[in-house]
Amino acid sequence: MPIEAISALIGLFLTLLIFSYLIGDNPLFRGAVYLFIGVSSGYAAVVVWHQVLVPKLFQPLLSADPNQLLPVVVPLGLGVSLLAKLSPRIAWLGSFAMAMLVGVGAATALSGAVIGTLIPQSRAAMDMFSSPTFARLIQGIFMLAGTALTLAYFQFSATRAADGSVRRNVIFEALAWGGRVFIAITMGVLFAGVYTAALTAMIERLSSMINFVKSFLGQ
């Protein structure tokens, strides 16, 4: 039996194990999930070993060049200090490395959101108004309204009434209602996209299963 047929047979078997979840949680489905997690973890470990640890840690440490050795010492020390988190007694040794890790990650995420999302979206909205066509103007107004109303939804300032209840300003409450409409539409579109992608993947797997069975019976 050729390698392609063996791969297709394994794929068919694993697909059937996943589809067994339709009758409820069972050991076959859990076994397929565990196998997927194990293979993914093993692949990630191999990638980290060959593309991160060996070229960026072990090779500089084994080299006699101080220009390659010195830049590795600080990251290695921070990485080793993170292992102290395994013990509650010496967990404080890894606090500095953890703080740097969280700080750099937050800064990277924030800068990525500002540079990659907010600024391009603002420029795109402004470019809509610079176009003389009526359709582009309507699109710009719609984008501006959606952005403003969505931001108004996350405006949480409120005042306390005489009866002790907390109420927001009527204007902000109306704007927040419009923001909820835009957020609901966005969530619906995202859910439809995810559902469509999942449905496409399922159709592809079913088609491959049918084609494999047809080719197997034809032989």
Q: pLDDT tens digits, the chain, 219 residues: what are they?
A: 567 777 778 888 888 888 888 888 889 899 999 999 999 999 999 999 999 888 888 888 887 777 777 788 888 888 888 888 888 888 888 899 899 989 999 999 999 888 888 888 778 777 777 766 777 778 878 888 888 888 888 876 666 666 666 566 778 788 888 889 999 999 999 999 999 998 898 888 888 878 877 777 765
Q: Domain map of the chain by residue range?
A: 1-62, 81-129, 131-219
DSSP-assigned letters across all residues of 24-54:
-S-HHHHHHHHHHHHHHHHHHHHHHIIIIII
Q: Please give the Cα distance from 65 to 79 (Å, whole number).
A: 22
Place of tokens 């076994």: 31
What pLDDT, on a 0 to 100 scale, did the predictor assign at position 38?
A: 95
The pLDDT of residue 157 is 67
Q: Tell me, what's the pLDDT at 160? A: 64
CB 212 within 8 A of CB 8: yes
Shortest CA distance to 48 belongs to which of 3, 79, 78, 13? Answer: 79
What pLDDT sits at residue 159?
Answer: 66
Question: For residue 57, what are the contacts with CB-CB under 8 A and spacing of at least 6?
Answer: 72, 76
What is the per-residue pLDDT for 156? Answer: 67
